[in-house]
Amino acid sequence: MNLYPLTPFEEALDLVLQYTTRLDVEKVTFHDALGRVLAEDVYATEPLPPFQASAMDGFAVIAEDPASWREIVGDQWAGPAEALTVLPGHAVRITTGAPLPPGADAVVPVENSRESDGRVRFDRAVRRGDNVRPIGEDIAARQLVLSAGTAIGPAEIGLLASTNRVQVLAYRRPTVAVLSTGSEIVEPGAPIAPGQIRDSNRYAIMSSVLQAGGTPLSLGIVPDEETALRDAFRQGLEQADVFISSGGVSMGERDLSRGLIEEWGTVHFGQVKQKPGRPTIFATVDRPEFSHRRLIFGLPGFPVASLVSFENLVRPALRKMAGHTHLFRPTVKARLTHAIQRKGNRVEFQRAQLEWRDGEWHATVAGLQTSGRLLSLAGANALLRLPIGAKRLERDDIVIAVRIDQPETE
């Protein structure tokens, strides 16, 4: 078996992004579009508000009306316009969001008014346009409200609703088939025998896929057995845009995933100079039976290694496929609260807790950093990106922290 060359981390990331392209677009109902990326410019067809609307509860009047007491001639609630006209000497009781009756050009808030005997007077001067929202104040007709490439969040959903864009063109979410491999792996909830361990990777990776905006598809657990693995690969590649397996990518006698990845795709790297997550394979599958290119990631079996590799190399790819332009999480400079001893021969991603104190970030590494110890990742809000080099970092040294609790901004 040939050992893959050790690919520098930055080069591995470049390769992933180089072979990853945006997926196709589809029409989606606006309220199902949360988290997606818009694939068209959206223009308003109607102004908002579509009529002159009151911005307050109060009285609709003519601003320049010389009358000191005005007669209340009717009520205009938010809703259909009543057959009311405001003449000099008149006022119409009005609520927020109600259409301004013809004739009126201002609204006086109820708190600035005094009522008596069906009449009202105001304790301050009224100016034309007071508390009236002109047509199109928020959105003008034919205005560009959202441009293609915008990530759709709650405000964007609201804008689509108010501009009556019930259907919108958005990039497809990547579907991601996730497979656990290993004859020792058993389903959580099932009885366990000596030598077996529970499958944590598939559930952790599927959750990561969801958080990255993809649609996970479980392929279950497959033992280290070639025919079964081959079937799982076929199934995953047929059904999904991305195929992720965990385990079986090191140099062991029964590490069969490697061979199958080579059989199905073109391998772009097979080992990455990162810690954890060195045995990570990336391949692409361009076959006539598939409508478009499939990506394969062979992630390490060790739970932390597979999640860190996902974070570093898979997540940016999923976001790019989904049409996002910001592919990287924000980083901050942080001060170490303790010394770190390390080998320094690979880029290292240590799991840490960041805390804002005295005007700066402080980073505390979350205990033992072995690649199987999920407890080091649970509750961590940052990965400290420690470059190749220094074998020892001192307390108070400044390091780069990737904020894995924040959405991509770069």
DSSP alpha helix (H) spans, 240-375: 257-264, 303-309, 315-321
Closest C-alpha among 81, 124, 123 to residue 104: 81
Closest C-alpha among 148, 329, 313, 325 to residue 242: 313
SS3 content of the chain, % helix, strand, coil (to 5): 20, 35, 45
CB of 219 to Mg ion, least distance (A): 15
Query: Looking at beta carbons only, is 143 or 200 nearer to ligand AMP?
Result: 200
Q: How far apart are the first and last CA of the chain?
A: 39
Please choose which of ligand AMP, Mg ion, none residue 302 contacts, taking the beta carbon within 5 to 8 angstroms, the exact cut-off set by kind.
ligand AMP
**Looking at 4-12, 63-71, 176-184, 337-345, which segment touches ligand AMP (CB under 6 A)?**
176-184
- Residue 364's CB is within 10 A of a number of other CB atoms, namely 16
Q: How far apart are CA 309 and CA 326, in angstroms?
A: 19
Q: Considering only residues 301-320, where is the footprint of ligand AMP by CB under 6 A? A: 301-303
Site for ligand AMP (CB under 6 A): which residue of 200, 211, 215, 331? 200
Q: What DSSP state is assigned to residue 204?
A: H
Give the three-class secondary structure for 238.
helix
Please choose which of Mg ion, ligand AMP, none residue 320 contacts, taking the beta carbon within 5 to 8 angstroms, the exact cut-off set by kind.
none
CB of 373 to ligand AMP, least distance (A): 11
Query: Looking at beta carbons only, is 52 or 246 nearer to Mg ion?
Result: 246
CB of 213 to ligand AMP, least distance (A): 23
Please choose which of Mg ion, ligand AMP, none residue 364 contacts, taking the beta carbon within 5 to 8 angstroms, the exact cut-off set by kind.
none
Query: Looking at beta carbons only, is 258 or 351 nearer to Mg ion?
Result: 258
Please choose which of Mg ion, ligand AMP, none residue 265 contacts, taking the beta carbon within 5 to 8 angstroms, the exact cut-off set by kind.
none
**Using the rule CB under 5 A, is 300 a contact of Mg ion?**
no
**Looking at 12-20, 80-88, 198-206, 324-332, which segment touches ligand AMP (CB under 6 A)?**
198-206
CB of 189 to ligand AMP, least distance (A): 14
Q: How far apart are CA 66 and CA 95, in angstroms?
A: 24
Please choose which of ligand AMP, Mg ion, none residue 185 contacts, taking the beta carbon within 5 to 8 angstroms, the exact cut-off set by kind.
ligand AMP
Query: Looking at beta carbons only, is 257 or 350 nearer to Mg ion?
Result: 257
Give the start-end residues of each E strand in 223-286: 242-246, 266-269, 271-272, 274-275, 281-285
Site for ligand AMP (CB under 6 A): which residue of 180, 271, 274, 284? 180
Please choose which of Mg ion, ligand AMP, none residue 150 contacts, taking the beta carbon within 5 to 8 angstroms, the exact cut-off set by kind.
none
Query: Looking at beta carbons only, is 223 or 407 nearer to ligand AMP?
Result: 223
Closest C-alpha among 52, 68, 69, 138 to residue 103: 52
CB of 191 to Mg ion, least distance (A): 20
Residue listed under structure tokens 């410019």: 41
Query: Looking at beta carbons only, is 198 or 335 nearer to Mg ion?
Result: 198
Closest C-alpha among 285, 306, 307 to residue 294: 285
Give the three-class secondary structure for 209.
helix
Query: Looking at beta carbons only, is 49 or 279 nearer to ligand AMP?
Result: 279
Q: Are 403 and 382 in contact (CB under 8 A)?
A: yes
Please choose which of ligand AMP, Mg ion, none residue 113 contacts, taking the beta carbon within 5 to 8 angstroms, the exact cut-off set by kind.
none
The radius of gyration of the chain from alpha carbons, rounded to an integer in Å, stands at 31
Q: How far apart are CA 192 and CA 59, in angstroms?
A: 74
Site for ligand AMP (CB under 6 A): which residue of 99, 182, 276, 298? 182
Q: Considering only residues 125-184, where is the footprint of Mg ion by CB under 5 A? A: 182
Q: How far apart are CA 233 and CA 229, in angstroms?
A: 6
Contact code string over 225-264 relative to Mg ion, x by CB under 5 A: ----------------------xx----------------
Taking the C-alpha atoms of 330, 22, 4 and 384 in order, what is their torsion angle to the nearest 10 degrees? 10
Q: Considering only residues 236-295, where is the footprint of ligand AMP by CB under 6 A? A: 246-250, 252
Q: How far apart are CA 250 and CA 257, in angstroms?
A: 9
Residue listed under structure tokens 């880029």: 347
Can you name the residues that pair with 48 across neighbouring β-strands? 139
Q: Which residues bind ligand AMP (CB under 6 A)?
A: 180, 182, 184-185, 197, 199-202, 246-250, 252, 300-303
Q: Which residues bind Mg ion (CB under 5 A)?
A: 182, 247-248, 301
